[in-house]
Structure 1
Amino acid sequence: MISESVVQVFTIPAITWTFTAVLLLSGSYHLLHAARSHQLTDRVNKSLHGFMNLLMVAMLWNLASSTMLAQIAVLAGAALWFVIQAVARPEFKILCAGRQGRLKCVYHSITMAGAALMVAMMAPSTSAGSGPVPAPTNVSHGHHAMAPASQTQAAQGAADTGISHSPDLALLLTALFGVAAVVFLVLLLRGRTTRASTRNQVNPRHFGRTEHSLEALGAAAMALMFATMTA
């Protein structure tokens, strides 16, 4: 069962704290750059990345679970926003410009959509793991006896339906983000090689090394988190 695999992995403190550290590091980086940016579009994009990372941390620790639908809506809207940028006409230079910029926006839209799917896929496991909600004390004895059973059936129905049982989709996203992590790692290593060969020159790729590092870590984290849902 998917819920069991998720619970078994994310109740291991070392793994949970490692994921938390990576996501907080990436989120802080994006939010810091959003605050320093003078371009509105770049500020929005960085803010969305930071917000996504914070939502992933909240998901790991089962925080703000009551706002699950709002989280999914925001992440889906962010995915659509990056798609709009990727397909925008060339004259809108404040949006994604050039082939590399458009590819980056496509990837970012996939990342936002993947985060929304992850929230939806992990929500049943967190609710199912918490057990049935106790019945109110100010109700009749008969209703008090039937409430736990009905709530258990409702929780079981929620766990057995919807997107939570999608191991094939989880496997596809695991492979996708795994490949993305490798690509960003290659870009990072290539940037370091170029820098080493041009020590006495100003290398514009130097400014993208930190971003490539965080993108690689983020993609690897997404791949590992989706991997727990393939069982």
Structure 2
Amino acid sequence: MFNIPAITWTLTAVLLLSGSYHLLQAMKSRQLTDQVNKSLHALMHLLMAAMLWNLAPSTMLAQIAVLTGAALWFIIQAVARPEFKTLCADGHGRLKCVYHSLTMAGAALMIAMMGHMSTAGYITAPSDGMAGMGGMTMSHNHHPMAAPIETTAGVSMDHSPALAILLTAAFTAASIIFIILLLRARPTKNTHHPRSDHRLSLRAEHALEALGAAVMALMFTTMTP
């Protein structure tokens, strides 16, 4: 799928625009926790865009470590005591932090799976020189490795296709849920009312989450058999 330049450039543009939006929101926020959270989202989108073009493959382990740390950070927020108001204090906030932890972990796993596929010979660079997911082709003449690739966490990647299918389904479902929430959060008639501004912000957030989940699902689809 990603040997089609139009798809690669479209996904790259979506990821870079989403990352820029999160970075802008981080700069506008006055709360430190929110600044960190938005910055982590911006970084995740940047790393995913770089993965499409196989940029900086030598830093793969560092990317996985950063994204794994980000996933743990969101889990910590999700289980934090209600007294910590700057973290995920209410039920809605906790659920959102759990989902954001899933997205960070999914991005880290995607990078690890891409590294495994490249090492195992499932991905070969096409003749025009384009590499990575943006120019990958599936090789049918590869030789299986004698032993499975182990990630830095010590998890075998033998079952990566099944895991990719599971995550594709999960992010597809998430995208549908966010689209439903987007449609339900209709703006009020009074555009100058504070509640109207909140609803517009909420709609933008739901739209961004739906788009991000769809991109994750699409990228995991390329890793299924």
User: TM-score if structure 1 supplies the norm length?
Assistant: 0.79
DSSP-derived class of the 1:92 partner: coil
Asked whether 1:61 is paired with 2:53, we answer yes
Which deviates further from its counterpart, 23-32 or 155-164? Answer: 155-164
Which has the greater radius of gyration?
1
Partner amino acid, structure 2, of 1:71: Q
CA-CA distance at 1:39 after TM superposition: 0.7
- Identical aligned residues as a percent: 65
From 61, 64, 72, give the equivalent of 1:80.
72
> How many Å separate the matches in 2 of 1:12 and 1:130?
15
Asked whether 1:222 is paired with 2:216, we answer yes
Asked whether 1:48 is paired with 2:37, we answer no
Asked whether 1:20 is paired with 2:5, we answer no
Asked whether 1:206 is paired with 2:172, we answer no
1:29 paired residue number: 21
CA-CA distance at 1:124 after TM superposition: 2.8
Q: 1:83-119: per-residue Cα shift (whole Å, max 9, x none)?
A: 0000000000011121111100000000000000000
> How many Å separate the matches in 1 of 2:176 and 2:188?
21
Q: 1:53-88: per-residue Cα shift (whole Å, max 9, x none)?
A: 000011100001101111000000000000000000
- The question of whether the paired residues in 2 share the 8 Å contact of 1:185 and 1:213 is answered with yes
> How many Å separate the matches in 2 of 1:212 and 1:205?
10
Which deviates further from its counterpart, 206-215 or 83-92? Answer: 206-215
User: TM-score if structure 2 supplies the norm length?
Assistant: 0.81
Distance 1:197 1:17, change over 3 A: same
Within-5 A mapping of 1:75-114: 75-114=67-106
1:122 paired residue number: 114
DSSP-derived class of the 2:157 partner: helix
CA-CA distance at 1:126 after TM superposition: 3.6
Which deviates further from its counterpart, 52-61 or 117-126? Answer: 117-126
Which deviates further from its counterpart, 106-115 or 120-129? Answer: 120-129
- The question of whether the paired residues in 1 share the 8 Å contact of 2:74 and 2:101 is answered with yes
Gaps of 5+ in 2: 126-141, 151-155
DSSP-derived class of the 2:36 partner: helix
Runs of 4+ with >2 A deviation: 124-131, 155-162, 196-204
Within-5 A mapping of 1:137-148: none
Q: 1:19-77: per-residue Cα shift (whole Å, max 9, x none)?
A: 11111111000011111111110000000000000000111000011011110000000
Gaps of 5+ in 1: 1-8, 132-151
> How many Å separate the matches in 1 of 2:205 and 2:146?
42
Distance 1:63 1:200, change over 3 A: closer
Larger helix share, 1 or 2? 1
CA-CA distance at 1:179 after TM superposition: 0.6
DSSP-derived class of the 2:40 partner: helix
RMSD over aligned Cα, in angstroms?
2.2
Asked whether 1:180 is paired with 2:180, we answer no
